[in-house]
Structures are given as structure tokens and as C-alpha cells.
Structure 1
């Protein structure tokens, strides 16, 4: 017998949904009572074991010796996917690491449900990779292979914003034109769809999808931009060499600000290059702090603190940022206005994408009945405020920002595979 589910493998968090005997979709608890499992793994060198989700984050934050892996979805379809990462004496491919995480998620769900899951609808962004259809197909193929290796026999895909629309459609009482804005950890996806009670459950909904688009911008990019604007200058970004002829190289600061690139700085050659930069830096003490941070392998912890500051700025005007590195202290102020300034170019790209999707569909902003906001990054006021302002007449619908996609995928799985 087929046992189907919907699986939302996210850049930051993942969920698994299943439709119950009454036809109602629900998310399965994956970590205690929590229905989300952070998309994080921690290879503990001290205990020689693997931790997942919140437990992985807790181990890392405790200072345990090991390797943290996060934002794995971001490597799909990129050159980084072919790289391997060292875990003690082993080198692991990213496909294997993604598969290990999906396998653990599947195992936890099967334990909670007391049944084997054999069929799955996987969520996917509209574009894994911007403006590169070949790389985009490669990304889906890489994810499919990793999922199939974990025992799923039947695999289908659905766009994540379409899944959010399927979840939203359960509550509408009449026909509406809805723009779904799904701002996740790694991608931002948009779908303009027509929903109604009569259309619910139809096998073919292609005529109801008026337009889709997506860009590779998400919460981890917002973390990077905030880090580059407010934290990296405290480590020497923008400063000059002693002779004043040039600025210090930017690339190491970009690596330190980007979750899935931080491990590159832990390479022996990269550290040698950083130490040589100290000798030629005018503000050598700042670069010394950078080198100490890398030597202590505090990169992911630093960007985690930046992410915490970004979240805090969702309901505060300012936060004080303090981060200790040996005898040094990285200290700076962050304000909601500075966050908005840092994110402005990315928000403008989101606005241009929305304008393009409306143009392609032949729909004006005034014809959009509902603006559906889903995904954790819609909680950033600088983002939500700008996008909501584009549709002053639309109903603003805030879904379960971390769960609506998984619920919609569960509905799609029931439609395609049955129970």
C-alpha cells in the first residue's frame, strides 16, 4: 500500500506533512513536539556521532568540537555540489549529506506515524538557480537522487509557492486571484494563481497558475548583507593596505558572511593567506581578530549571531551586537533602518520580479485580491512592508510561515498518490 507525504526541504527549516483519514493535512512532529526540523547537521568529533536540527545547533553553540553543516539546499545546482567536505578522516559529498538529513527526517516521521512512507511530493523553488535552466534541472535531479536513496519509491515535485496556494485554498469561500510570496532561507518565489472552492481538488490546475517566477534571494542572503554592512568592517572590510594603494581583498569577508562558504576559510591555505594579510593591513588588529575567529572556527556561530540580530530587529528599532573572539570583542550597533538599507537592493529585485510576474499574467496590482505571505523572511518588516505597499487594496494573508508549504505538499501527495 502506498503511504504518501509532502516534504518541504528548506534552506533553514524542513517539515513533513500527511493528510489524515478525514482529509485534513497536518504536519508531523519531528523534534519533540516541534513540527519543524532545522536543516542543520553537526558531526561531533568528541562523541563520534551525528546530531540533527535543534540538537545540532545546541551542540555547536556549546563549543563541542565538530563540523556544522547548514544551508545545504543552497549548493544544489551549483559548482559547490561537486565539492566534498572533510569530516575527521572521511570526505563526504553534499549529495550524501543531504540524503543523510532527508533520511533522518523520514525516519522520525515514520516513527511518529507508525507507518512506512513510500511516496513523496517534494517542494522545490521556482528556480534553484537563476537564469540557468540546465543547472536548475541538475539541482532537481540531485535532490531527487538524494531522496530516492533514502527509500522513497515514488517522487514528484511541486513548486513551493503553489503548495502554499493549495493550503490557502482550503479557507476561501469564493474565487480569488492570489499572489503567493514565499520568502524562504535561500530563495524567494512568487506565484499568481486563481483559487476557489470549486477548483479545489482538480487534477489539472495548470490553467489556474497565471504566472510564476523566482529569484535566488532569501534569509541567508539577508544575513550575509547585514553581516557585510555592519560586522565585516569591524574585521577589516573596506580598510586599506599600509601603503594606502589598495583595499584589502573582499572575497574572505564574503566567504565568512555566507553560510555554505564558511568552511572554505578553514582550509590551511586560506588561513595562510589570511595571516599574510595581517602584515600588509593598515588596521592589522581588525584582521588579527578575523584570523583568530577563523582559527577558532567561530564562523558559523558569528553568522548565527547576525541572524539572531536580524530577527530581533523584526520588533525592535536597534540592537547591540557583541561577539567575543579570544581577547578581542566585535562590537557594533545595528538598527532597523540600517537593516533596511542593507537589504534595499535585494528588495528592489523582489519588487522587479513581482512587476514582471504581473506583466506576464496581464494582471494589474489592483486585480490581486489576496497577498499571501509565507516563509520566515516575510517576518522582516523592511521586506513585508515594501511588498505589502505594492498592493494597497489586497487582503494581506499571513500563513503559517514555516508550515504552509508542507501542508500544501501533503494535499498534493494525496491527490497524486492517494493515502
Structure 2
């Protein structure tokens, strides 16, 4: 059996072909979209879980070294790892929100793929993270379908998150491939996510069109300008139909981060003054929110930064705000803050104002947010996304007949208006914002494996 596998930054989903149409497979409590999250007692538990409970061996000597270190660290901490100690998806998120300080939690491992300057052991750890998530999804999908899944087409962005260009893309794709192989997939192919979304849109066409696909995912925005229609459908070689590509590390997570920074962090010290008259260092307010930036997270939550935060508390003219920032440090609340911003972003798409609440140790913080404030906060990522749209059109030197917007953030009225302003005379259409990529990957899997 083959599937299309959208290993996404925000959510994961898989689909197979049934009666000549893609069908998404339920992955958690009847839901098709599994949040891309993992929770474990410790960071070291991931590698031990794969070996002990999934019978997945390390791929090489570096992986074996990582496993030995992990098992030794858990023994030293007196941790007896159980299979149920690793949680995925919504269950992992709910456990983190209830007990953020008591576990290892990671959202969107895909965000770190392609990061340069990492040691081999770090790369193998990311591979283990991805493998654990893929193995869980594969096992769940097989239970749902009562079939063994052997082959998969996995979606990938035009450019991953790293700054290393082709080297970053190669490293990221290699991690995904190795993780998928270890999880039990035999034949593995990759397809660009916007192309996959376009394949699903193409299934509805009765005439030839030039389509600009704008896929605004959790971690990246990707644009593909394609010739599409009945003459191209099910063609094994689509290279001649692809007119232009553009893609960058900017997506739904960035919208949430920018909104959290501008609307929430003033209550944690942003814009406040030190006794010297200088403003609070901006990186101390940005780094805890930068959940898609490994170096920023490491810097903020590192032991060395604790001394800096305590010094800033002593020098702050508004110490109550810095006490909140210290609580972010101690309880690893960066993900929670971004989550509150995401909730506000969704709500403000349908209402002019929204009140966000967050329970801290000694208070309940309540922040009123307005739609106009959100528009202002999202200006930087909005401009980056519209630049990608213009870049794809300029590359092809062709105006599309239609713009097909997809991805979790494609429903944002701020972004839809921004894209419409770039191509004011071109109709803008939508499909299944969350499922178009997955469905298109399943269609491409049929071309690859049947």
C-alpha cells in the first residue's frame, strides 16, 4: 500500500487512493490532522523509545553513540522509560500546556531541518525525532486501513528552513529519507508541496490553465507557477509544466511569533526601561518566541542566560514584567505564548477584537487584541510572502489565469488581501486549506508506484 505523507510544520497528515480519489486517514481521535508535536520525560527518551519499544535500530555508529548516551543519561536520572511515556499530537500538546516544566516538548521538528553548523550527533537526534513521529503515524494509519504501508511520497518545501541553500535542502531531505526508511517505508519519493497542492486542484479542471499555487504552511511559504489541466493529468514527467518556483522560511509560525512579540511581550518587558535609561534588550523578548530557531531557543534557555535575566530584573524600572520573563525561562513558556498568539490570530480572522488569557504562577494575564493591531504586527511576514508571489510571476514572465491559495494560513484575511493586491485582476480560489497538499501527494504516489 502507498500513501501521500505531509510531514508538516504545524500538522501531519496522510492519504491513500480509494476509488480513484484521495482519502485522508484518521490519525488521532478520528481527526485527520495530527499536530506536529512530541512530548517525552526527557530529551534522551526519544532515542531509547525507538530502540526499546519500536525495535528501530540506530542507522550508523553515530546513532549508536547517541543511543548509548541517551540510555546512560536516563539510568543516571533514575528514569524507567515506558512506551506510553512518549506522546504525540494533541495529547503531547495538552500535557505540555498542563505541565510545561516537567517534560521535554518539541513542536515542529521540521522547523530545524536544514540548520547548518550542527554536529553529527545533533543531526542523528533530529533524525530520531522525525523517525519517532513517522513510525507513530505509519502504525496508526496501518491500524486504520488494516493494511501494511510500504511506500510513500513525502512532501517537501521549495526551500527548507536553513540558510545554507542547496546544502540545507540536501541535509533536510536526507534526514527525512533516513527517518522514513527506519520507520519502515521501502520506496520513498519526494514532491514539492505547492506542486502537490496543484495536482489536487488540477483534478477539478476541465480546461487548460496557468495556475499560481501559493502554499502558506506553518514553516514556509512556497509558490509554484504551473501549466495544468486534462492534458497534464497523470503525466509521469511534469517538468515541462513547471514554469517557476519560489519559497522561503516564512509561514504560519512566523505570523504567530510576530503577533506574540508585538502584542504579548510588552507585558514581559518589551519596550520597558532599565535604570540606565536604555530599553530592555530585544533579543531577550524575541528568543523565547523563536520556536523555529534552534540557536535562539538554546541561547534563551541556556544556563548562562539565567544570570543575564536576573541582572536585568535588578536593573529594570518595571521589575514585575521581568519576573514574568523569568517565569517564561523557568517554565519553558515560549511555546505557550506562541500558542496564545495563534489562538488570537484565528479568532481575529472573524472578529474585530479578542481577549487572550494566560495563567502564570501568581496571576492571570489578560491581553486585549484588536484586528488592526494584528495587521500591523504581521506586516513583516506579510511583505515577505507577497515578495515570493511576485518573484514567481517575474521568473516565469507570465501572469497566471488563477491563484490557488492553500495551507493553514491561506484563510487569513490579511494574507489573502495582500496576495490579491499583487495580482488584482487574477481570480483567487481556495480548496481544502489543510488537506490539498496531502491529497496531491497521494495522487502523485499513484503515478510513482502503480
Do Structure 1 and Structure 2 share a fold, with TM-score over 0.5? yes
Q: CA deviation at 1:356?
A: 1.7
Equivalent position to 2:114, from 52, 72, 77: 77
The verdict on how the C-alpha distance between 1:277 and 1:259 changes in structure 2, with shifts beyond 3 A counting, is: same
- Counterpart residue number, 2:252: 219
Contact 2:153 2:191 survives alignment (8 Å): yes
Contact 1:369 1:393 survives alignment (8 Å): no
Alignment of 1:314-353 (within 5 A): 314-353=349-388
Q: CA deviation at 1:398?
A: 1.2
Contact 2:6 2:14 survives alignment (8 Å): yes
Q: CA deviation at 1:59?
A: 1.8
Q: Distance in 2 between matches of 1:328 and 1:268?
A: 26
The verdict on how the C-alpha distance between 1:83 and 1:221 changes in structure 2, with shifts beyond 3 A counting, is: farther
Per-residue CA deviation, residues 31-72 of structure 1 (Å, 9 max, x unaligned), is 122111111111147995011111112222233732221021
Tell me the secondary structure at the aligned position of residue 257 of structure 1.
coil
Equivalent position to 2:150, from 118, 126, 129: 118
- Counterpart residue number, 2:315: 280
- Counterpart residue number, 1:108: 140
Per-residue CA deviation, residues 208-264 of structure 1 (Å, 9 max, x unaligned), is 1111110110111111101111111111122222121x3222222112112245853
Q: Distance in 2 between matches of 1:132 and 1:370?
A: 30
Contact 2:116 2:168 survives alignment (8 Å): no
Q: RMSD of the TM alignment (CA)?
A: 2.2
- Counterpart residue number, 1:35: 32
- Counterpart residue number, 2:58: none
Number of equivalenced pairs: 406
Q: CA deviation at 1:298?
A: 2.7
Q: Distance in 2 between matches of 1:51 and 1:12?
A: 16
Alignment of 1:40-59 (within 5 A): 40-44=37-41, 49-59=85-95
Equivalent position to 1:200, from 233, 255, 265: 233
With normalisation by structure 2, the TM-score equals: 0.85
Alignment of 1:131-210 (within 5 A): 132-210=165-243
Q: Distance in 2 between matches of 1:4 and 1:228?
A: 42
Per-residue CA deviation, residues 170-200 of structure 1 (Å, 9 max, x unaligned), is 1111011111110000000001111111210
- Counterpart residue number, 2:427: 395
Indicate whether 1:411 and 2:408 are aligned.
no
Q: CA deviation at 1:302?
A: 2.1
Q: Distance in 2 between matches of 1:79 and 1:273?
A: 27
Q: CA deviation at 1:92?
A: 8.3
Q: Distance in 2 between matches of 1:191 and 1:276?
A: 49
Contact 2:115 2:164 survives alignment (8 Å): no
Tell me the secondary structure at the aligned position of residue 410 of structure 2.
helix
Q: Distance in 2 between matches of 1:80 and 1:149?
A: 24
- Counterpart residue number, 2:99: 63
- Counterpart residue number, 2:20: 23
The verdict on how the C-alpha distance between 1:103 and 1:414 changes in structure 2, with shifts beyond 3 A counting, is: same
Tell me the secondary structure at the aligned position of residue 422 of structure 2.
coil
Q: CA deviation at 1:293?
A: 2.9
The verdict on how the C-alpha distance between 1:175 and 1:105 changes in structure 2, with shifts beyond 3 A counting, is: same
- Counterpart residue number, 1:299: 334
Q: CA deviation at 1:83?
A: 9.0
Q: Distance in 2 between matches of 1:252 and 1:103?
A: 36
Bigger Cα displacement from structure 2, 121-130 vs 75-84:
75-84
The structure that is strand-richer by fraction is 1
Per-residue CA deviation, residues 368-411 of structure 1 (Å, 9 max, x unaligned), is 22211110111211111111233333332211111110110011
Q: Distance in 1 between matches of 2:159 and 2:171?
A: 11
Q: CA deviation at 1:267?
A: 3.4
The verdict on how the C-alpha distance between 1:214 and 1:5 changes in structure 2, with shifts beyond 3 A counting, is: same
Tell me the secondary structure at the aligned position of residue 86 of structure 2.
strand
Q: CA deviation at 1:161?
A: 0.3
Q: CA deviation at 1:333?
A: 2.1
Q: Distance in 2 between matches of 1:44 and 1:381?
A: 39
Q: Distance in 1 between matches of 2:117 and 2:215?
A: 25
Indicate whether 1:10 and 2:42 are aligned.
no
Bigger Cα displacement from structure 2, 390-399 vs 219-228:
390-399
Contact 2:389 2:422 survives alignment (8 Å): no
Contact 2:260 2:337 survives alignment (8 Å): no
